[in-house]
Amino acid sequence: MAQTASSKQVGTATLTLGDKTASLPVLGGTLGTDCVDVRKLQNELGVFTFDPSYGATASCESSITYIDGDEGVLLHRGYPIDQLAENSTFLEVAYLLLNGELPNKAELEKFNSGVMRHTMLHEQIRSFWSGFRRDAHPMAMLCSVVGAMSAFYPDSINVHDERQREISAFRMIAKIPTITAWAHKYNVGQPFVYPKNEYSYAENFLYMFHAVPAEDYKPNPILTAAMDRILILHADHEQNASTSTVRLAGSTGANPFACIAAGIASLWGPAHGGANEAVLKMLAEIGHKDNIPEFIKQVKDKNSGVKLMGFGHRVYKNFDPRAKIMQKTCHEVLGELGIKDEPMLDLAIELEKIALEDDYFVSRKLYPNVDFYSGIILKAMGFPTQMFTPIFALARTVGWISQWKEMMEDPSNRISRPRQIYTGAPTRDYVPLEKRG
């Protein structure tokens, strides 16, 4: 386990309300914005803080991931995302996120074989699928099957037992590719393909996804490398909506499978992980470069409800560093597949160019995010649009479980329970039915 420091007091903020003054500690971490610790505010001044979508709130201390949104920097345990994407493998990044340090050779081999020996699902889980409609969205299947895992692996759901937490983490990371691939197989009516442990993590997922019993399957090394990179780029992203959901659910002592199911549900929305699917739908609707100006006009019209999907981010006010790597990977994948002319990619590049020159996007600091190019690569790799968000969930499972473990190991963890500004009716007496007008 990496030695990580807690935040330290770096100053004091003074807040005056009427005739009372509160001295609030200002906390600083290793990098990033300092935070005013408002935990004693209610006792000292009798007020809460109000920050409905948490735009100005740090919800926890974490030593896993750091983002500098102004500079477009993303670090996992201190390592820049571009270095990890270039040199590492997904399971090595998973080890890093979970344990805090890059593994040595022996540690990595042990971790790889530990994950790859837990890839099969309890056979009874198979029967779950027959209860779904064939056209069920794979995110619905993922959410349900992951939630149901707590019923199949009750030996690893004691959240207060360190060993059981570790086993659950392995089970989640190892089995999520099988669940994701099987959701697709069920959609298309093909037989489920069982995992092959001799393959790497990414290779095994591609195999379970694409292989059919009638033919030999030969993994393509370039596509496997691209898959691995896509997984690395989605692995963790500090306290995003789905990770915060996992932490909130976990703060109650709920079992890890239930918490990850909650995270999957949260990721599904188009403002979050569902954006990769929405980007492709948007590009299909725009249809042709000539239609971009009209589309941009709609985006700028607040009443239209139309957003440029794959653009904008709560934290990045600069390029999302993952989007740059994703764009490069996109060209590599299309090159490998011999796709010289991909209208969706041409359209995306033109859309990006026009948006980056338009004052609406420039003044709001809206740049492409991780989802802008990922869909085009996944489409080229043969994934149907509705599988894009499940693949994001597959990768993010590592981040969710690392963040959940970190929270469970933090002795200061207690149930997350925000407050509110109540705007409903003041106290009033019950009126009997016959006296109501």
Tell me the number of residues near ligand SDX by CB under 6 A.
21
Backbone angles phi, psi at 368, to 5 degrees: -65, 140
Q: Any idea which residue has 């995003």 for tokens?
A: 240
Least Cα distance to 250 among 425, 401, 28, 418 occurs for: 401
Q: Are 48 and 420 in contact (CB under 8 A)?
A: no
Q: Which of 177, 310, 321, 375 binds ligand SDX (CB under 6 A)?
A: 310
Q: Which of 157, 309, 326, 330 binds ligand SDX (CB under 6 A)?
A: 309
Identify the residue among 88, 204, 369, 389 touching ligand SDX (CB under 6 A). 369
Residue of 184, 371, 410, 429 marked active site: 371
Is 76 designated active site?
A: no
Note if 313 is an active site residue: yes
How many whole angstroms separate alpha carbon 72 and alpha carbon 214? 47
Tokens of 237: 């992203």
In the list 153, 207, 295, 311, the residue contacting ligand SDX (rule: CB under 6 A) is: 311
The SS3 of residue 368 is: strand
Distance from C-alpha of 364 to C-alpha of 103, rounded to nearest angstrom: 41
CB of 265 to ligand SDX, least distance (A): 14
Segment contacting ligand SDX (CB under 6 A): 116-124, 133-141, 220-228, 302-310?
302-310
In the bound state with ligand SDX, the residue whose beta carbon lies nearer, of 74 and 116, is 74
| Residue 193 or 233 having the CB closest to ligand SDX | 233
Contact status: 277 vs ligand SDX (CB under 6 A): no
Interacting residue with ligand SDX among 272, 289, 317, 324 (CB under 6 A): 272
CA distance linking residue 347 with residue 435, whole number of Å: 64
- Which residue stretch of 203-211, 281-289, 306-314, 403-411 sits at the interface with ligand SDX (rule: CB under 6 A)? 306-314
Tell me which stretch binds ligand SDX (CB under 6 A): 106-114, 256-264, 305-313, 383-391.
Answer: 305-313
Residues 208 to 237: which contact ligand SDX by CB under 6 A? Answer: 237
Query: Measured from the CB of residue 159, what is the shortest distance to ligand SDX in angstroms?
Result: 24
For 135, list phi and psi in degrees, rounded to 5.
Answer: -95, 15
Nearer to ligand SDX, 312 or 390 (CB): 312
Asked whether position 240 contacts ligand SDX by CB under 6 A, the answer is yes
> Which helix H or strand E contains 26, and what residues bound it?
strand 20-28
> Which residue from 271, 284, 339, 362 is in contact with ligand SDX, where contact means CB under 6 A?
271
CA 56 – CA 393 distance, rounded (Å): 26
DSSP H or E segment with residue 21: strand 20-28
**Residue 243 beta carbon to ligand SDX: minimum distance, rounded to whole angstroms:** 7
**Among 185, 289, 314, 317, contact with ligand SDX (rule: CB under 6 A):** 314
Q: Count of residues for the chain?
A: 437
Mention every residue, 6+ apart, whose C-beta is less than 8 A from residue 228: 89, 90, 200, 201, 202
CB atoms within 10 A of CB 103: 17
- Alpha carbons 336 and 58: distance in angstroms, whole number: 43
Instruction: Name the minimum Å distance from CB 273 to ligand SDX.
Output: 6
The binding site for ligand SDX (CB under 6 A) comprises 237, 240, 271-273, 275, 299, 307-315, 364, 366, 369-371
